[in-house]
Chain A
Amino acid sequence: MRYIVLIALREFLENAKTKGFWIGIFMLPLMMIIGITVSTKLAKAEPSRYFLVIDQSGAFAGPIDQHIEWEYQKSVLGALGQYAQENLRPGEKHDLNLATYQAAVDAFIAAGGKEALLARLKPLLRDNAPAFKEPTRFFVRIEVPNDVDASASHETLLAQLKPYLVGERQVSTDAGSLPLFAAVVIKPDGVEGAMRWTGEESIQYWSTNLAVNNLTQQVQEAINVETRRRLYASQGVDAASVRNIEATWSRLGTFDPAKKAGEETVSTADRIKRNVPIGFVWLLWMSIFTVMQMLLSNTIEEKSNRIAEVLLSSVTPHEIMMGKLLGIAGVGLTMIGAWLGTVFIGLRFWQGPGALELTQALDAITASGLIPMFLLCFLLGYLIYAGLFLSIGALCNDIKEAQSFQGPLMLIMMVPFITMALINRDPHGTLATILTWVPIYAPFTLMNRAAASPPMWEVVCASLLMVATAVLFLWSAGRIFRIALLRSGNRPKLAEIVQWLRGRAE
C-alpha cells in the first residue's frame, strides 16, 4: 500500500504541480467570465449610429421617430432594472414593475419615464449607490444634409446620398462629423407599398453595414404599427384600444405532481435545476477525457523512456497501476473541485440579473442528490475508461502509436457529447434508456437523467453493470499492463493480447 501511495503521490504532483494544469483549470471559468463580461461591456460601449429618413410619402417619418424613441425608453427601463438590482439596499423589496414587455414600457413612459421611476427608487437604494447612467442611444436620426434634395426623383436622390452612404462624405451630427450609418428612403407610394407589392420596393433601407440589423427591425416594426393603425382607422376601430388589448399577457402556472403537496409550483429555480445535469454531463465528459489523456501520456512516458523496468525492480505492476489510478483520480477530482468551486463561488457573488433565482437554484442543487450522483458517475466512468486507456498506454511504444487509436476512440467518446442535449430533453426516452445499458455511456446518461428521477431499479442495475465493467476492464488492463510494459518493438497482435488475457503467455 505504501508503494501505491508513493506512486499515486508522484503522479498527482507531477500533473498538479505544473503551471499548465492550473492555467488549464482556471482558463475555463475565466474564459466564461471574460466572455460574458466583455460581450456585455462591448454591447454597452457600442457607439451611436446616425441614420436619416427621407419620407416622400409623408406617412412614416413621425412613427419611425416615435418607435425609435420607444425602443430607447425600453433600454432605459432595462438599465434601470439592473441598476435597481445592483444598488438596492440589502433585504429591501420594491413593488416597481421593472419588466420590459410592451405594456410595461408603455406604462413606464406614461408615468413620467426615467425621472419619475428614479424618484420612487431613490429611498430604497443603498446610501453609497452611484448615480444612474443612461444607456447610449444606439440609433440617432439626423436631418438630411443641405446638398441632398429630399423631394428629388428617386435616382437623383440616390446619386446624392451615395457619397454619404459609402463613407466618402460625412454628415454633421451633435457629436461632430461622422459617417452615415444608413438611409431609409420611402417613395411617395410608401403607404400602398407597405401593404402590398407594387412592382418595386417602395420602402428602402440603404446601408453598407448589414450585420447590425436592429435598425431594420425597428424601422420595419414602426412601419407595421403605423400601417396597422391606418387599417384599424379605416375600419372604424380605435387603434389605442387595440394596442391596450394586445398588451394583455396571460399567466400560466407550471406544476409538478411529483413534488410535495402545496409545493407543486415549478419555479425558475426548478427549471434551472432541471437543466443543470447537462452542465454536469459536460463537466463529467471534460474531466474524464482530460485525465485520460494524462493517464495515457504518463503510461507511455514510462514505457517509451524505459522507466517501467526500473520501477518493476522496486514495485509490482499491480502497484504501479493502482498508484496511477489513484494519483490521476486525484488530479481529476482536483480539477472538478476547482471548476465547481469557481462556478459556485462566482454565482454566489453574482449581482446581475437573475441573482436570486441562481442562488435558489444553487441551494436546490446542493440539497438534491446531484452532486453525490456526479461523484458516483465520475468514479465509475473514470475506472471504466482508465482500464481502456491504461491498456492502450501499455501497448503503445510512443505517443504516435497511441494516436492511431485516438481516431476510433474519439468517435466513441463523441457519443455522450452529441446525445447530451437529446437525453436532457427526453430523459426517459428510447435513446436515454438504451444508453443507460451501455456501460461506457452509462455514467453520462445516468448523470443526465438524474434530475428527472429515473426509476430506482434502473439506477441501481446500471450502476452494478458499470461496476462489473470497470472490474473487467481493470482486470484486463492489469494483465496487459504486466506483460506489455516491458515489451518493445512491434505492437502485439489482437490474438496475442487475447492469449495474455487468458493467462496463456508471458
Chain B
Amino acid sequence: MKDHVLELENVSKRFGDFTAVNDVTLRIPRGSIYGFLGQNGAGKTTTIRMIFDIIKPTSGRVRILGASSALDVRKRIGYLPEEKGLYKAMTAAACIAYFATLKGISRKAARRDARALLARYGLEKFADTKIQALSKGMGQKVQVLCAIAHDPEFVVLDEPFSGLDPLNQQVLETLIRDLATKGSTVLFSTHVMQHAERLCDQLLLIAKGRKIFDGTVAGAKATMPRRVLISTASNIDALGGLDGVAEIKAVGDSPTNSGAKDWEIRLRGQTDAQAVLEKCFQSGIVLRRFDHTEPSLHDAFVALVGAETATGERA
C-alpha cells in the first residue's frame, strides 16, 4: 500500500442549509506537490480547515499522517492560511521562532533556526524588523517561513501566491520545490493555473464543494475535447461527415483573412487533428489558417468547472 500523508473519506461540511464541502474523497501520496484548485467559494478553505481539525466535518473521516486529529501531529505539519497576518509588534525572527515553539521546537533552537531560515531566503536584514514595518509581500514571505520553520513533513499553503509580485512568486516556487526535494509533501491551493501547471504532480479540482477532478495535470488536460480552428472561404460541409468530428461552430468573419470565415471544429475523444487536415486537402478546402493547440490547464479548469456549475444548476 502506498504511503499517504492525507486521506479524506467522504468528507462533507454543512453550515446550516449550506453545503460547503460535499462528499470529498482524497488521498495525497507522500512526497508529492499537490495542487488544490477551485473557484472562490468552492470550499477550499473549509476543506483545509477540516484537515487541520480547526472545524469538524459534518460527516466523513480525515486522517492526517495517520492521526485522526491534526493536533496530534501538530509538530509534523505546517499551515499558511489564506488570509495572512502576524503579530504586528513582533520582529520577523521572533514571529517565526514563536510559531516554531508552538510546534514543539525549543525556544533556543527556534530562535536560531528562524535566523538561519531568514538568511536562506535572503531576508536576514529584516530579522529584527517589526512586522508592521515590512511590506505586504515581505510579510507574506515571513509568514510562509513561519509555516515551515519546524521542518514539517506535510505543508498546506492556502493561496500562497496571492499578493506576491512575479519575482517573489518565483522565490516561492523555488521554496515549494525545495520542500518537495527534502521529502516534504506540499498541498497548495491557488486559482492561478500557471503555478499549478508548473509545480504540481497531481491536482484536485473542486467546485461548489464537490470534487470534480483528481489526477495528474496531463490527465486534467485530457478531459478537454480537442479542437481545431480554421479560416477558409470554401464550403466546409465535407468536414461534417468526418468520423471523430463532434461539432462545427461558426465563429464569424475572419478578422485577419478578408473574405474568409473562422470555424471551430470540436473533436471527439483523442481524435488526431491530422485527420481534419487530410480531409481538407481531399475536399479541396483552401485553408487560410489551421490552428491546433493543446488545451491549457486554464481551459480544462474552465471547462470542468463550467460543466459542474451547469449540472449543479440543473440539479
Contact = CB atoms under 8 A, between A and B. Distances in A.
A312 B86 CA distance: 13
Given A306-B84, A310-B99, A310-B146, A316 B71 contact: yes
Interface in B249-277: none
B119 interface: no
Given A309-B83, A486-B55, A506-B56, A314 B102 contact: yes
A180 to B, nearest CB: 60
B84 A312 contact: no
B87 interface: yes
Given A3-B102, A486-B54, A486-B55, A310 B81 contact: yes
Contacts of A304: 85
A7 B101 CA distance: 10
B175 to A, nearest CB: 17
A311 B81 CA distance: 10
A301 B77 contact: no
A14 interface: yes
Contacts of B49: 309, 486
Contacts of B81: 306, 309-310, 313
Given A14-B87, A301-B88, A305-B86, A314 B103 contact: yes
The interface centre, meaning the residue of B77, B88, B102, B146 with most chain A CB atoms within 10 A of its CB, is: B102
Given A313-B79, A314-B74, A10 B85 contact: no
Interface string B71-99: 10010010111011111111000000011
A263 B124 CA distance: 71
Contacts, number: 63
Given A311-B102, A314-B103, A506 B55 contact: yes
A307 B143 CA distance: 10
Contact of B87 (A301, A312, A313): A301
Interface in A57-82: none
A7 B99 CA distance: 10
Contacts of B86: 305, 307
Interface residues of A, number: 22
A402 interface: no
Nearest to B71: A316
B188 interface: no
- The 6 A-B residue pairs with the shortest CB-CB distance, nearest first, are A305-B85, A306-B85, A313-B79, A306-B83, A314-B102, A309-B81
Given A14-B87, A14-B90, A18-B89, 15 more contacts: A6-B101, A301-B87, A305-B85, A305-B87, A306-B83, A307-B85, A310-B81, A310-B143, A310-B146, A312-B52, A313-B70, A313-B79, A314-B102, A486-B54, A506-B15
A129 interface: no
A485 to B, nearest CB: 9
A424 B54 CA distance: 50
A479 B16 CA distance: 18
Contacts of B79: 309-310, 313
Interface string A284-315: 00000000000000000100111101111111
A309 B85 CA distance: 9
A267 B264 CA distance: 106
Nearest to B16: A505
10 contacts: A14-B89, A14-B90, A301-B87, A305-B88, A306-B84, A307-B87, A313-B54, A313-B74, A486-B54, A505-B16
